[in-house]
Amino acid sequence: MLKFIFVLVFMFFFSFLKNFYWMVQNLIFLLTFIFMINLSSMNYFNYISYYFGLDMISYGLILLSFWICGLMLMASESVYLLNNHKSLFIFMILFLLLMLVLTFSSMSMFMFYLFFEASLIPTLFLILGWGYQPERLQAGIYLLFYTLLASLPLLIGIFYILNFMNTLSFTLLSNCFFMNMNLLYLSLVFAFLVKMPMFLVHLWLPKAHVEAPVSGSMILAGILLKLGGYGLLRMFSLLQISGMKFNYWWISISLVGGVLISLVCLRQTDLKALIAYSSVAHMGIVLSGLLTMSYWGLTGSYALMIAHGLCSSGLFCLANISYERMGSRSLLINKGLLNFMPSLSLWWFLLCSGNMAAPPSLNLLGEISLLNSIVAWSWVSLIMLSLLSFFSAAYSLYLFAYSQHGKVYSGIYFFSGGSLREFLLLMLHWLPLNLLILKSSFCMLWI
């Protein structure tokens, strides 16, 4: 694990060299493939040290982090062309990637907390430094306060466990069942519920997405929401008894909230806001499945987290491509794109169908598995799940139909196809999303 961390640390120097923008992106992709190849020799005793280690859950999320960060640089060509502090931009992305890799590979609960919080800082700088509207300041404050306020009890809970158990190593804590520690349960879980984000504490997410540049939206949707799910997967090995008592609260809120947010999606006119709210709905079903604490639920939530990271990130790229052409993200202006950019309409279709879990995508695998786990947990949840699935298809179709069909906005006087870079960017989102289902044992943790 240390070799990957060292490569990332030494890549910081490249960010200050002139004309090294694409070199850094190529190096990130090279590192991704080296990391991918390393799995072939991986058994359960590889990569374990006192501080850092890997298992299947963290392996998939680290791989996703490398992949999305490489694609972020590819999507942000405007930063490079306009020379908009590109050295600092590369530095922020590399720092964020390092923090994410350290978070997912931490073996100690305190180190996990430390890097979990540290990943907030470069995200905040991306939103404040390269965002579009003046409201980005408010969005940044929302992001900071929601996340920090919720994670203070987590820090207290971690120190309580240290006092109680004299260790914070995940491996040593995994068999400790804390009996009826109700307050401890709340303090350890709440930070991750906000980060997911659960309905009722989700307001920071649409704001942050709408104000963030395309790279900020990609990393938020692709990785930072997964930090919450990853934290819950790690924490529930300690909290099983309390979880059986209290989890139904969060599951109920998430399922009802998912349906309400899906209805909110159908009223959006901003492309980015629509995709951001659909993230909240998807994370609601991930959270519900994860909290059932069944094997189907845990593996399904992991698979859907990986799938959503690729799919949602690709949709934000598409929204940005339209924004760069049109100068607006409004659906009222982004109409009739089938006439305006016909070559991109296929990508809109493929990623929208992925967003509603159409067959060849990994989303389908995750959603079927989550449906299994939640219905097995309670038959009543079937009502909300059926509504959620229906409206999920409805807002994906709404997004596609409204943006591609209709009369072209009269302010546009020219035809514009996509560039090769944009097609490559979208293909690198879509291919893993649909190819991973062929080797679904990795995504379902059957290894």
* Cα end-to-end distance, the chain, whole Å: 20
Asked whether the beta carbons of 181 and 175 are under 8 A apart, the reply is no
What pLDDT, on the 0 to 100 scale, is given for residue 266?
A: 95
Concatenate the DSSP letters of all residues of 137-168 into one string: HHHHHHHHHHHHHHHHHHHHHHHHHHHHHS--
Residue 290 phi, psi (nearest 5): -65, -40
User: What's the full length of the chain, in residues?
Assistant: 447
- C-alpha to C-alpha distance for 313 and 308, rounded to whole angstroms: 8
What pLDDT score was predicted for residue 443? 84
Residue in 282, 67, 291, 76 with CA at minimum distance from that of residue 192: 291
Amino acid, res. 257 = G
Query: What is the arithmetic mean of pLDDT over 247-261?
Result: 96
**Cα distances (angstroms) measured from residue 289 to each of 130, 178, 200:** 35, 22, 18
Q: Can you tell me the mean pLDDT for 112-129?
A: 95
The whole-chain average pLDDT of the chain stands at: 91
Q: What is the pLDDT of residues 165-190, one digit of tens each?
A: 888 988 888 777 665 578 889 999 99
Q: Give the lowest-confidence range in 12-21, 91-100, 247-256.
A: 12-21
Q: What is the pLDDT of residue 348?
A: 96
Cis peptide before 197 (omega within 30 of 0): yes
Q: Is residue 330 predicted with pLDDT exceeding 50?
A: yes
Could you state, in order of their start, the residue ranges of all structural domains in the chain? 1-444
The Cα–Cα gap between 76 and 320 comes to 10
Residue 330 phi, psi (nearest 5) = -75, 140
Listing DSSP states for 350-372 in one string gives HHHHHHTT-TTSHHHHHHHHHHH
CA angle 97, 228, 436 (to 5 degrees): 70
Least confident of 93-97, 112-116, 215-219, 414-418: 414-418
SS3 330: strand
Identify whether the C-beta of residue 365 lies closer than 8 Å to the C-beta of residue 437.
Answer: yes
Of the two residues 239 and 370, the one the predictor is more confident about is 370
| 225-237 tens-digit pLDDT | 999 999 999 998 8
For residue 215, pLDDT over 90 is answered with: yes
Query: How do residues 416-446 score in pLDDT, each as one tens digit?
Result: 778 999 999 999 999 999 999 998 888 887 6
What are the angstrom distances between the C-alpha of 344 and each of 312, 324, 433? 16, 14, 18
For 66-83, how does the pLDDT look when each residue is reduced to its tens digit (9 = 90+)? 999 999 999 999 999 998
For residue 447, is pLDDT > 50?
Answer: no
Rg, C-alpha atoms of the chain: 21
Helix, strand, coil in percent for the chain, rounding step 5:
75, 0, 20
- In terms of phi and psi (left: phi > 0; alpha: psi -120 to 50; beta: otherwise), the region of 180 is left
pLDDT digits (tens, 9 = 90+) for 359-370: 889 999 999 999
